[in-house]
Amino acid sequence: MIQVLLVDDHDLVRTGIGHILSEQADIEVIAEAGTGEDAVRLARELRPDVVLMDVNMPGAGGMEATRRIIRHELSRVIILTVHAEAPYPTRLLEAGAYGYLTKGCAPAELLEAVRSVAKGDKFVGSDIARQMALASLPGNDVSPFDRLTSREMSLTLLLVQGEDTATIAETMAVTVKTVSAYKHKIFEKLGVKNVVTLTHLAIRHGLTETDQLS
């Protein structure tokens, strides 16, 4: 039996995906979480075979939660999100995610991904693979956020959510000084001077949406 932890901050999404998974004789949803912090806690307690992880969530978010789960080798992670564009797929796969799907995928593809990753195989959705292939072609625009590491991306997402330095330090389990150093490096790489311009840049490149901002 493949044990799955389902992580998404929308109850309706968890209900729909949970229903698809629970209809399968070989898959069991053993727990659900609505935040990155809860995802890490439950992964540590339950050690599921697969974590289905959203990206944009309150608090630590899916990218930071994925990094923690992978660092401690708690479970294999499949990203399941609305974001198909760079830099999300590349950064999360580089960080160690075993799979990446968009929420527009067919139920059959979702089930194939869960079963493949549970066996230890990598799985990238067909639409994601196509986007990544196109992005690698000469002449295609590259997102400025491609310059960031996965750790810097995690911090960027917290910044555009409106979190202050102390909260970010606590969420990412680092010092305030470390957050400030990361922040300076992010601003330098992206050519922005403050969080407002960073947020506008994030919206323009599809990293976040106005209704996700606090």
| Structure confidence at residue 212 as a pLDDT band (50, 70, 90) | very low
Q: pTM score, two decimals?
A: 0.76
> What does the pLDDT read at residue 46?
97
Q: Which residue, 145, 142, 141, is CA-closest to 155?
A: 145
* Two tokens, residue 62: 């899916």
**Residues contacting 211, CB < 8 A, separation 6+:** none
Instruction: Work out the percent of the chain whose per-residue pLDDT is above 70.
Output: 90
pLDDT recorded at residue 202: 86
User: How far is it, in rounded angstroms, from Cα 44 to Cα 4?
Assistant: 13
**Domains of the chain, earliest start first:** 2-135 (3.40.50.2300), 144-212 (1.10.10.10)
For the cut 70, the answer to whether the pLDDT of residue 38 exceeds it is yes
Does the structure show a pLDDT above 80 at 135?
A: no
**What pLDDT is attached to residue 214?**
42
Q: How do residues 42-70 score in pLDDT, each as one tens digit?
A: 999 999 999 999 988 877 788 889 989 99
pLDDT of residue 93: 86
Q: How confident is the model at residue 133 (pLDDT cuts 50, 70, 90)?
A: low
Model pLDDT, residue 211: 43
Mean pLDDT, residues 118-127 taken together: 91
Q: Which two tokens stand for residue 96?
A: 């160690």
